[in-house]
Amino acid sequence: MNGTCELKKRLLNGASNGHAFAVENETSNDQYYANNNVYSYEAVVNIAEYLLDRVPYRPRIGIICGSGMGSLAEALSNPIKFPYEDIPNFPVSTVEGHAGQLVFGRLSGVPVMCMQGRFHYYEGYPLWKCAMPVRVMKMVGVTHLIATNAAGGLNKTYKVGDIMLVKDHINMMGFAGNNPLQGPNEARFGPRFPPMNTAYDKQLVRKAKEIAALEGLGDLVHDGVYTCLGGPSFETVAELKMLGMLGVDAVGMSTVHEVITARHCNMSVFAFSLITNMCITDYDCGDEANHCEVLDVGKLREADLRHFVSKIVVHLAHNM
Ligand SMILES: O=P(O)(O)O[C@H]1O[C@H](CO)[C@@H](O)[C@H]1O
């Protein structure tokens, strides 16, 4: 462990990619953090320090692997792996298809940090806890987040195996007052009221479409609106019909809380959904959504997704 000055320098560097936020509410928040078992700024810093002490570089790109998409992390060269249970104060993954480790390494030569396994609300974690690793990424020095997920396709023009670039989301859980930024604002991460109308980097969505076309994946790629429900039950026909009327193109149980947390601390966000199943909006259809199918489609698209993500990572590395 290096001295305190070095620690501050590293953390300031890590947090200096965005606005210089005023340090406010520092002490008044402490009581809330203690009473509610919330991660304080310092607790996130400690986790970042644990990682920085063991990784000889600072990736600027963070990747979150969706269900069945953990093989993205397996494409990294010279991986340095941190099982979640070994990282002090880290939650653990409980869902099949989420290995449960942070992996640092190089993707096509570019240093990245991957969450091979994310946290979902239905696992019993509050949203702030599900999204806490995004803040760790920020403290490590990540400026660009790539969030991937498996989702049900609601847009009838989609097919299983397609890729939907997320251009916007509907924060359904937020409508019910559940948001990862709930509680006192930690101004060292970001502002009390962060805007979300520019949540997804528009230019990157455009570029990703170009990349997909160049790489022969153009026919698979759409852009659309994602929504996250609490899960773990899949949706009823009536719920899906309602979501369709609201303009949702793909339905999942993740990502939105991560994106909100990333935008709060001024990270640039790119996200996509692998359409692993088509949402059932017909009462006469005997099929049922299931997690095995979700994992199987992830496996089927493994090579394409690795290729696609590595091209995006290279593009980002040349344009940050
Ligand atoms: O969003 P990810 O983690 O990719 O996983 C999706 O797949 C699972 C359901 O099969 C849910 O967890 C849903 O959110």
Q: What is the mean pLDDT of residues 28-57?
A: 89
Ligand 1 atom closest to residue 228's alpha carbon, by position in its atom list:
14
Catalytic amino acids?
67, 98, 120, 122-123, 150, 253-254, 277, 291
Ligand 1 atom closest to residue 289's alpha carbon, by position in its atom list:
10
Nearest protein Cα to ligand 1, atom 13: 253
The 10 Å Cβ neighbour count of residue 21 is 16
pLDDT reported for residue 38: 84
| Spatial distance between the Cα atoms of 310 and 320, rounded to a whole number of angstroms | 15
Report the amino acid identity of residue 222: H
Verify whether ligand 1 is closer than 6 Å to residue 277 (CB atom): no
What does the mean pLDDT of the chain come to?
92
Rounded distance from Cα 188 to ligand 1 centre (Å): 31
Whole-model pTM: value is 0.92
Verify whether ligand 1 is closer than 6 Å to residue 67 (CB atom): yes
* Residue 69 and residue 76 in contact, taking contact as beta carbons nearer than 8 Å: no
- What are the boundaries of each domain within the chain? 58-283+309-319
Peptide bond preceding 232 in cis form (omega within 30 of 0): yes
Residue 25 pLDDT > 60: no
Q: What is the mean pLDDT of residues 31-42?
A: 82
**Overall fold of domain 58-283+309-319:** Rossmann fold (3.40.50)
Residue 10 pLDDT > 60: no
